[in-house]
């Protein structure tokens, strides 16, 4: 496969993401699945080109606007995306000669039917290539919000929202961290294999394996082809899961005799972890809103060879009479804005709106109102999200405490020394920069007896 085709595939993926609002991981996976003949190198190039362009979209548009009389908001979408992937290569992919980037962009424009605009594409890109080092970015002191927005490609409203919640330096580091290439973290399924044996098995297949930051059964893996090509994956020896997300089951610390309900469980990361932690002794009910979603849980349960989980389609907003005060532990890992996982899903930062966040807060509160009834007196409720937005996290926790008969539980004894400094009373907010993981919020509440 030649580079021009790989770039064309990248362009198609970007169009799907930016115009048709397909999730970036879905758009990329669809293309990669369709083109299984791509070499490992081409796949890596395609993936980086799409993800990198997305990570830096606002900055790339800012640069293009300095050199084009037609501003990006007036450009034909396909031409704009050709310019974006090309400026990304000029600025961030040092190994590709500038002339190759410009030539390939011209070919792309022609292939897409824009023969007349290919000269425009060529002119803009050659000007950018010549002046890249001299482009003036917004001034950090006089325009700090604009500066962060352009430097790290975050919409200004998100920076503004965070400034109400965190200090400037924290936000700056968070933005930097969110733009880093994400790691693939795995959780060893200790019911089937020891972490050491898994590590050796993966290394034998020339996969690079690094120890996790927080848990001795977590590893970061790289230099593998497809996940489905890894024998250890097919045998259920590990599950892909970020380490901060693994802390949910650690903080829940269920007993083997517990009855556990996971109300928003798909694709089953935490459900299956809870099953492993309780050595398949606890009774676990895993629910999600649709059959399509619960099928994902089933797939993981089957692959990981776990037997103590019952899966049900159930809308968490609907009160289930039969579940009232039935569970020792209820896990509410609720839908959220996802601002903690931007390094994995960069499109989130462009697609989420403040109105959506407000309606998510309402959904989170409505679900919590229903499912808190399912906890037995003296039992525990875990509320978690993969966001770093306090409206959905701390504020929801305070609201919950004010309205329901629960008290926050000290989680410090349940986490390692590294994490303890970040524990507040009854909750933990992990920012991406703390441990190079996703941003995650985990709280633990005990129901009054
Ligand atoms: C953050 S994800 C859960 C991730 C999961 N706990 C894991 O560890 O793999 C949120 C889930 O909530 C589900 N969801 C959203 N609204 C729901 C509802 N009203 N009832 C049940 N599930 C819902 C979504 O389908 C999604 O799978």
ipTM summary value: 0.99
**If pLDDT is split at 50, 70 and 90, which confidence band does 342 have?**
very high
Mean pLDDT, rounded, of the chain: 95
Residues facing 185 on adjacent strands: 220
Q: Is residue 154 part of a domain?
A: yes
**Secondary structure class of 418 (helix, strand, coil):** coil
**If pLDDT is split at 50, 70 and 90, which confidence band does 294 have?**
very high
Dist. CA 355 → ligand 1 center (Å): 20
Dist. CA 390 → ligand 1 center (Å): 20
CA atoms within 13 A on the CB side of 94: 0
- Is residue 247 located within the same domain as residue 327? yes
Residue 21 predicted with pLDDT over 90: no
| Residue among 387, 382, 351, 353 at smallest CA distance from 165 | 387
Q: For residue 385, give both structure tokens.
A: 């999200």
Which residue among 336, 386, 423, 449 is the active-site one? 386
| Residue among 189, 212, 184 at smallest CA distance from 201 | 189
- Is residue 192 located within the same domain as residue 318? no
Q: Is residue 260 part of a domain?
A: yes
Q: Is residue 139 part of a domain?
A: no
**Helix 40-55 / helix 24-34 crossing angle, nearest 10 deg:** 160
| Closest protein CA for atom 11 of ligand 1 | 264
Ligand 1 pocket test: which of 270, 271, 289 has the largest number of ligand atoms within 8 Å of its C-beta? 289
**Is residue 296 lining ligand 1, measured as CB closer than 6 Å?**
no
Number of domains composing the chain: 4
Query: Mean pLDDT across the stretch 105-124?
Result: 95
Cβ pair 249, 382 in contact under 8 A? no
- Is residue 292 located within the same domain as residue 367? yes
pLDDT value of position 305? 98
* 360-413 tens-digit pLDDT: 999 999 999 999 999 999 999 999 999 999 999 999 999 999 999 999 999 999
CATH of the domain at 287: 3.40.50.150
Cβ pair 206, 223 in contact under 8 A? yes
Q: Does 265 count as an annotated binding residue?
A: yes
Ligand 1 pocket test: which of 335, 365, 367, 387 has the largest number of ligand atoms within 8 Å of its C-beta? 335
- Is residue 344 located within the same domain as residue 366? yes
pLDDT value of position 1? 42
pTM score of the predicted model: 0.93
| Residue among 84, 78, 74, 79 at smallest CA distance from 15 | 78
Residue 3 predicted with pLDDT over 60: no
Last residue of a domain, one of 134, 165, 199: 134
Is 386 tagged catalytic? yes
- Is residue 301 located within the same domain as residue 346? yes
* 151-206 tens-digit pLDDT: 999 999 999 999 999 999 999 999 999 999 889 999 999 999 999 999 999 999 99
Q: Is residue 287 part of a domain?
A: yes
Q: How far apart are CA 423 and CA 429, in angstroms?
A: 7
| Residue among 58, 36, 49 at smallest CA distance from 181 | 49
pLDDT value of position 39? 87
**Is residue 266 lining ligand 1, measured as CB closer than 6 Å?**
yes
Dist. CA 293 → ligand 1 center (Å): 8
**Is residue 265 lining ligand 1, measured as CB closer than 6 Å?**
yes
Question: Which burial class, exposed, middle or buried, applies to 190 when counting CB atoms under 10 A from its CB (0-12, 13-18, 19+)?
Answer: middle
Q: pLDDT over 90 for what percent of the chain?
A: 91
- Is residue 319 located within the same domain as residue 443? yes
Q: Does 333 count as an annotated binding residue?
A: yes
**Secondary structure class of 343 (helix, strand, coil):** coil
- Is residue 301 located within the same domain as residue 373? yes
Q: Does 264 count as an annotated binding residue?
A: yes
Q: For residue 117, give both structure tokens.
A: 């605009």
**Is residue 269 lining ligand 1, measured as CB closer than 6 Å?**
yes
Q: Is residue 174 part of a domain?
A: yes
- Is residue 199 located within the same domain as residue 173? no
**Is residue 317 lining ligand 1, measured as CB closer than 6 Å?**
yes
For residue 179, which phi and psi values (nearest 5 degrees)? Answer: -95, 0
* 32-85 tens-digit pLDDT: 888 888 888 899 899 999 999 999 999 999 999 999 999 999 999 999 999 999
- Is residue 129 located within the same domain as residue 191? no
Dist. CA 142 → ligand 1 center (Å): 42
Q: How far apart are CA 443 and CA 425, in angstroms?
A: 9
- Is residue 232 located within the same domain as residue 366? no
Q: Does 188 count as an annotated binding residue?
A: no
Q: For residue 31, give both structure tokens.
A: 């293309």
- Is residue 261 located within the same domain as residue 371? yes
Q: Does 77 count as an annotated binding residue?
A: no
Q: How far apart are CA 52 and CA 140, in angstroms?
A: 23
Which atom in ligand 1 lies closest to the alpha carbon of residue 331?
A: 6
CATH of the domain at 116: 1.10.940.10
- Is residue 161 located within the same domain as residue 256? no
Q: Does 94 count as an annotated binding residue?
A: no
Q: Is residue 140 part of a domain?
A: no
Q: Is residue 108 part of a domain?
A: yes
Which atom in ligand 1 lies closest to the alpha carbon of residue 335?
A: 10
**Is residue 349 lining ligand 1, measured as CB closer than 6 Å?**
no
CA 16 to chain centre: 19
Query: Mean pLDDT across the stretch 6-29?
Result: 92
**Is residue 268 lining ligand 1, measured as CB closer than 6 Å?**
yes
Q: Which domain holds residue 168?
A: 145-178
Name the DSSP letter for residue 384. E
**Is residue 200 lining ligand 1, measured as CB closer than 6 Å?**
no
CATH of the domain at 193: 3.30.70.1170
Where does 305-353 have alpha helices with state H? 348-351
């Amino acid at each position: 496969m030649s580079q021009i085709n790989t770039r064309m595939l990248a362009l198609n993926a970007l169009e799907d993401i930016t115009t048709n609002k397909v999730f970036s991981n879905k758009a990329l996976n669809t293309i990669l699945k369709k083109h299984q003949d791509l070499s490992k190198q081409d796949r890596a190039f395609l993936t980086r080109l799409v993800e990198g362009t997305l990570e830096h979209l606002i900055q790339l548009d800012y640069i293009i606007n300095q050199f084009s009389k037609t501003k990006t908001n007036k450009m034909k979408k396909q031409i704009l995306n050709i310019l974006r992937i090309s400026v990304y290569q000029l600025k961030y992919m040092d190994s590709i000669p500038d002339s190759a980037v410009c030539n390939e962009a011209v070919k792309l424009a022609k292939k897409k039917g824009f023969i007349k605009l290919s000269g425009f594409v060529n002119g803009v890109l050659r000007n950018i290539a010549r002046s890249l080092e001299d482009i003036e970015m917004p001034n950090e002191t006089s325009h700090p919000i604009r500066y962060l927005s352009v430097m790290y490609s975050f919409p200004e409203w998100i920076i503004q929202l965070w400034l109400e919640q965190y200090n400037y330096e924290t936000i700056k580091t968070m933005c930097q961290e969110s733009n880093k290439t994400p790691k693939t973290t795995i959780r060893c399924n200790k019911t089937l294999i020891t972490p050491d044996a898994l590590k050796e098995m993966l290394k034998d297949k020339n996969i690079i394996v690094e120890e996790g930051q927080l848990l001795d059964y977590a590893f970061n893996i790289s230099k593998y082809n497809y996940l489905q090509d890894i024998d250890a994956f097919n045998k259920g020896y590990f599950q892909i899961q970020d380490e901060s997300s693994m802390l949910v089951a650690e903080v829940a610390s269920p007993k083997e005799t517990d009855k556990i309900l996971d109300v928003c469980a798909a694709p089953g990361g935490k459900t299956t972890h809870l099953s492993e932690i309780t050595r398949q002794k606890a009774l676990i009910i895993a629910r999600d809103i649709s059959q399509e979603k619960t099928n994902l849980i089933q797939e993981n349960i089957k692959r990981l060879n776990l037997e103590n989980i019952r899966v049900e389609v159930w809308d968490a907003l609907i009160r289930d009479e039969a579940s009232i005060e039935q569970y020792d532990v209820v896990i509410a890992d609720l839908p959220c804005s996802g601002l903690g996982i931007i390094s994995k899903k960069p499109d989130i930062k462009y697609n989420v709106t403040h109105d959506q966040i407000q309606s998510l807060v309402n959904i989170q509160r409505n679900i919590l109102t229903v499912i808190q009834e399912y906890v037995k007196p003296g039992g525990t409720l875990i509320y978690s999200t993969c966001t770093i937005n306090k409206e959905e996290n701390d504020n929801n926790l305070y609201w919950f405490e004010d309205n329901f008969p629960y008290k926050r539980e000290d989680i410090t004894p349940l986490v390692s020394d590294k994490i303890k400094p970040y524990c507040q009373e009854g909750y933990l907010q992990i920012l991406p920069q703390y441990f190079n993981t996703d941003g995650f919020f985990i709280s633990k509440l005990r129901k009054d007896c």
